């Protein structure tokens, strides 16, 4: 590989001069700068970013830590992050940690060993690595959390108002006449899992709907598990008239269960999905769903981080809380209430 030294030698100047020319720094005459630039192109010179990183302690690399890139929610958020980061010449190391906190720890260490300029993370559910995150922050690592957050950590984050999202959905169902509502929630120990469940319980209580513990089950944010739970719920003698999903996998699980049992949507069962995937709008019937603003989430997270990095912004943590929106389609039926 051709290095600055090679350019310097072939031009009979010093490496210092070449470096300055290449980086548009002052202290080089127009003439020499031009000759350096030309020679660099001629030789096909490409910066060695490891060496540069060593000197400048800046790598223009951001670590992104998520549970599953296969989940459209995450891949959409990442796309949006990349858009803003790429414009500023940063790029991403993406780490898939599943729900494995051991792996999360390993990846975090890897990211610091790679000297990333910052980290954007959706922590694993169990919060095992709280102390790791805290340590990183204490050592000056810039961290932005998103989707899930760890309550006792002082750092920027961007989330949606999960509780309100589900609360609103329950209210909507109630308005449509539903009094028996089931939910497949996620991982109870995770922020999103917990908040969404809370929203559900609160709404059911506030609105005086039927409360039935058997209609509330954890699908661990997985299709197979959600499918099993939904089957259990829908096969009971007294089953809910509406089911709420709490992520895109649980939506699929519910739908598959309904299909297997032969329940027609929305005639026999109303369903509200989570996350707005393209197939939902062409499904028969089109699925009413809660939509997270993935683009805004990604953009905000990236912008917050960039702010910390570039402006060395060290004010106290900023919290971006976004609203999810209900997209009304046709998977919810109106139920006639006898006594109105």
Among 24, 31, 279, 284, indicate the residue that binds DNA (CB under 7 A).
Answer: 31
Told to check if 49 binds its own copies by CB under 8 A, we report yes
The bridge status of strand 61-66 relative to strand 118-121 is parallel
Among 237, 238, 267, 284, indicate the residue that binds its own copies (CB under 8 A).
Answer: 284
Stretch that binds its own copies, among 20-28, 50-58, 171-179, 209-217 (CB under 8 A): 50-58
How far is 293 from 270, CA to CA, in rounded Å? Answer: 24
Picked from DNA, its own copies, none, the partner binding residue 32 (CB below 5 to 8 A depending on kind) is DNA
Closer residue to DNA, CB minimum distance, 19 or 100: 19
Question: Which letter does DSSP use for residue 264 in this model?
Answer: P
Angle between helices 191-206 and 162-175 (to 10 degrees): 30
Beta partners for residue 290, in sequence order:
274, 326
Min. distance of Cβ 79 from its own copies in angstroms? 5
Stretch that binds DNA, among 17-25, 82-90, 217-225, 254-262 (CB under 7 A): 17-25
| Residues 185/219, Cβ–Cβ less than 8 Å | yes
Q: CA dist 3 to 11, 50, 59, 104, 266, Å?
A: 13, 13, 18, 37, 67
Picked from its own copies, DNA, none, the partner binding residue 31 (CB below 5 to 8 A depending on kind) is DNA
How far is 135 from 150, CA to CA, in rounded Å? Answer: 14
Task: Report which secondary-structure segment, H or E, holds 63.
Answer: strand 61-66
Closer residue to its own copies, CB minimum distance, 21 or 194: 21
Residues 163-182 contacting DNA, CB under 7 A: none
Q: Tally the C-alpha atoms within 13 A of residue 175's C-alpha that lie toward its C-beta.
A: 6
3-state secondary structure of 274: strand
Helices marked H in the chain — which ranges?
Answer: 4-11, 15-22, 30-43, 49-56, 72-87, 101-113, 130-138, 162-175, 191-206, 223-235, 248-261, 278-282, 294-310
Q: Tally the C-alpha atoms within 13 A of residue 9's C-alpha that lie toward its C-beta.
A: 6
Picked from its own copies, DNA, none, the partner binding residue 78 (CB below 5 to 8 A depending on kind) is its own copies
Min. distance of Cβ 45 from its own copies in angstroms? 10
Residues 54-83 contacting DNA, CB under 7 A: 54-56
3-state secondary structure of 1: coil
Question: Which letter does DSSP use for residue 213 in this model?
Answer: G
Told to check if 50 binds its own copies by CB under 8 A, we report yes
Q: Site size for its own copies, by CB under 8 A?
A: 48
Among 9, 10, 34, 47, indicate the residue that binds DNA (CB under 7 A).
Answer: 47
Min. distance of Cβ 188 from its own copies in angstroms? 24
Told to check if 45 binds DNA by CB under 7 A, we report yes
Among 277, 290, 297, 299, indicate the residue that binds its own copies (CB under 8 A).
Answer: 277
Task: Report which secondary-structure segment, H or E, holds 324.
Answer: none
How far is 79 from 305, CA to CA, in rounded Å? Answer: 16
Told to check if 95 binds its own copies by CB under 8 A, we report yes
Min. distance of Cβ 228 from its own copies in angstroms? 15
Told to check if 262 binds its own copies by CB under 8 A, we report no
10 C-beta neighbours (distance < 10 Å), count? 12
List of residues contacting DNA (CB under 7 A): 1, 3-5, 12-17, 19-20, 22-23, 25-29, 31-32, 45, 47-48, 51-52, 54-56
Q: Which residues bind its own copies (CB under 8 A)?
A: 1, 44, 46-51, 53-54, 59, 61, 68-70, 72, 75-76, 78-79, 82, 91-96, 107, 109-110, 112-115, 135, 139, 223, 252, 255-256, 259, 277-279, 281-284
């Amino acid at each position: 590989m051709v290095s600055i030294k090679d350019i310097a030698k072939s031009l009979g100047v010093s490496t210092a001069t070449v470096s300055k020319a290449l980086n548009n720094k002052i202290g080089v005459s127009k003439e020499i700068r031009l000759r350096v630039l030309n020679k660099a192109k001629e030789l096909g010179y490409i910066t060695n970013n490891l060496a540069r990183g060593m000197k400048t302690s800046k790598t223009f690399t951001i670590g992104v830590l998520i549970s599953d890139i296969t989940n459209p929610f995450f891949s959409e958020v990442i796309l949006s992050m990349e858009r803003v980061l790429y414009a500023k010449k940063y790029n991403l190391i993406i780490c898939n940690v599943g729900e494995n906190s051991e792996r999360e720890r390993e990846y975090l260490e890897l990211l610091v060993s790679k000297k990333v300029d910052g980290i954007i993370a959706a922590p694993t559910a169990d919060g095992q690595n709280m102390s790791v995150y805290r340590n990183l922050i204490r050592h000056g690592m810039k961290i932005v959390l998103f989707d899930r957050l760890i309550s006792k950590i002082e750092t920027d984050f961007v989330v949606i108002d999960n509780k309100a999202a589900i609360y609103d959905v329950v209210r909507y169902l109630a308005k449509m006449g539903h009094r028996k509502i089931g939910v497949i929630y996620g991982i109870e120990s995770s922020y999103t899992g917990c908040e969404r469940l809370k929203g559900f319980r609160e709404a059911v209580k506030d609105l005086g709907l039927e409360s039935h513990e058997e209609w509330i089950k954890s699908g661990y944010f997985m299709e197979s598990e959600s499918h099993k739970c939904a089957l259990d719920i829908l096969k009971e003698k007294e089953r809910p008239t509406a089911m709420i999903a709490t992520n895109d996998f649980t939506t699929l699980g519910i739908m598959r269960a309904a299909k297997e049992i032969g329940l027609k949507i929305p005639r026999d069962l109303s369903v509200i999905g989570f996350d707005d995937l393209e197939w939902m709008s062409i499904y028969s019937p089109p699925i009413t769903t809660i939509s997270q603003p993935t683009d805004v989430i990604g953009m905000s997270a990236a912008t917050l981080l960039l702010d910390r990095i570039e402006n060395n912004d060290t004010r106290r943590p900023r919290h971006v809380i976004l609203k999810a929106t209900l997209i009304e389609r046709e998977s919810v039926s109106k139920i006639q209430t006898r006594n109105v």
